[in-house]
Structure 1
Amino acid sequence: MKANTLICAAALVAICASQGAVAQVAGLQPLGGTVEQTNALLKGWSVRRALVDEPVYNDLNDKIGSIYDVIISPDRKATYAVVSVGGFLGMGKHYVAIAIDHFEIRDGNLFLPGATKDALKSVPEFEYNKLEKATKPHKVSAN
């Protein structure tokens, strides 16, 4: 499996290099989809830019953590946000998965009503599925 992945990666690098590859920029070059799909992409938003590393506050406006990840269920819906709590310079962080419907957006900020840092730290830590790579769903083609 790893050999096939390496061969595919090498072939992709060779193709890109031979075509003078440049970064894809939405709206400036075709992305391999229909016009409708490209327009939908332009109107969409980036989870990385909009949510990941964004602070999460409680009702007292205390920062209680930050968004670390967003979990997408097999039906393609965002179901949980993984919140990192505590830690210093990336050490000792505690990760908890919180259902998306528990969050509120107020004035462009994420709130978790009734939560505290201590309460989140007391929740059992979230762990990624160790079989994630083996059970990872196939990517859907834009074509």
Structure 2
Amino acid sequence: MMKTIVAGLAGTALLATVAFAQAPTATTDKAPTAATATTTSASDQWRVSKMSGVKVYNEANENIGSINDLLMDKNGNIKIAVIGVGGFLGMGEHLVAVPYEKLKFTNEAIAYSAPATSPPGRPASTTTTGAATGTDKTATTSSASKWYPDHAVFNASKDELKSMPEFKYSE
């Protein structure tokens, strides 16, 4: 019984080596190769796959939503940004379509100062979002390392976006 198993494994190993030793036949009817883009990127390029979820703020630095989708025309130009407003964890979110050229993108993190409550006799401290560096400047990140901007700015309030007609994907 054991001899049969060993003989079967040895035969399988021999057949497998013969299969790997065969070279594929060369074909001459291959399609011409297309020109490819460079493998390095410019600092002004972003990955569309990373744009989904980018926060959208208004001119007053209030978070008004996030980008859910980008719609492009047949030439590949992005024309519409679908922004999700309100909701919690995707539930109850109101989708609106805004012209893509109306969005302004920035790589600088949002920073704001708000007075914090402090005990009597102590000066009020300030709170800054982003990386704390000991100064009141915000840390900037390069889009070349992140492949997407920090946030977008759209000149509207959250209530104005909620009052816009809801965007629906057609079937």
TM-score, normalized by length of structure 1? 0.60
Corresponding residue pairs, total: 95
Relative to total residues, which structure has the larger helix share, 1 or 2? 1
Q: RMSD across aligned C-alpha pairs, in angstroms?
A: 2.0
Q: 2:170 maps to which residue?
A: 129
1:1-143 aligned within 5 A: 34=34, 36-39=35-38, 42-43=40-41, 45-49=46-50, 51-106=51-106, 107=108, 108-113=150-155, 115-130=156-171
Q: Provide the C-alpha distance between the structure 1 equivalents of 2:33 and 2:89, rounded to a whole number of angstroms.
A: 41
Shift of 1:42: 4.3
Separation in 2, partners of 1:83, 1:42:
30
* Distance change (3 Å), C-alpha of 1:90 and 1:109: closer
Identity of aligned residues (%): 36
Shift in Å at residue 68 of structure 1? 0.1
Q: Which of 1 and 2 has higher RCO (CA within 8 Å, sep 6+)?
A: 2
Change (3 A) 1:74 1:89: same
Q: What is the alpha-carbon distance in structure 1 between the residues aligned to residue 82 and residue 37 of structure 2?
A: 29
- Deviation at residue 38 of structure 1 after TM alignment: 4.0
User: d(CA) in 2 for partners of 1:45 and 1:104?
Assistant: 14
Shift of 1:90: 1.4
**Moved segments of 4+, more than 4 Å:** none
Deviation at 1:109, TM superposition (A): 2.5
Q: Secondary structure at the match of 2:36?
A: helix
Instruction: Report the AA paired with residue 169 of structure 2.
Output: Y
2:100 and 2:79 map into 1 onto residues whose CA distance is 5
> Which residues of structure 1 form unaligned runs of 5+?
1-31, 131-143
Structure-1 separation of matches of 2:65 and 2:33 = 38
The whole-number CA distance in structure 2 between the counterparts of 1:76 and 1:110 is 21
TM-score by length of 2: 0.51
Larger radius of gyration: 2
Map of 2:19 onto structure 1: none
